[in-house]
Amino acid sequence: MRVEAKLAKLGLVLPEQKLPTDLKIPFAWVRIYGNRAFVSGTGPVHADGTYTGPFGKVPQDVSEAEAYRAARLATLNILSNLKQAIGDLDRVEAWLIARGMVNAVPGFTKTTHVMNGFSDLILELYGPEAGKHARTAPGVVATPLNLPVVIEAEVIIRTQ
């Protein structure tokens, strides 16, 4: 089954890319180099591309379950950016690594549980062969826009 068909079957929608008007970015959301695509750090957004809450630190302002959902939404944002850059999500041959920065209070040690929102969805969409990836999930002092999680990734793509 194709990735976008799986998304539809799960009732998931790839969001638009929309930045807050006061935010300017001098970088690419996706940088393709050879057969690799490097996806810039993204956070959770609504289908219309606006950033979604709750905002703040995990678990003080954002519960662990809400942060897990935020990681899933950030994953949809990553997929949307990839689709825009490569045209077809089925061109992704392998997910190599994901780096998730969790906006956490000092001492919060369940950052890996938060990042499971990313890993669970990627494995569901791509299966164990293409979806298996390396991962880091540190807690950080702050994230852009006070998002609960920001995720970046690197994938191998099939060249056209």
Ordered structural domains, the chain, with CATH: 3-19+39-157 (3.30.1330.40)
Whole-prediction pTM: 0.95
What digits encode the pLDDT tens for the residues 8-53? 999 999 999 777 677 788 899 999 999 999 999 999 999 999 999 9
In the DSSP assignment, the letter for residue 17 is: -
Model confidence pLDDT, tens digit, residues 62-105: 999 999 999 999 999 999 999 999 999 999 999 999 999 999 99
CA atoms within 13 A on the CB side of 19: 12
Angstrom distance (rounded) from CA 160 to CA 27: 24
pLDDT score for 1:
62
- Going 62 to 64 to 65 to 67, the CA torsion angle's sign is positive
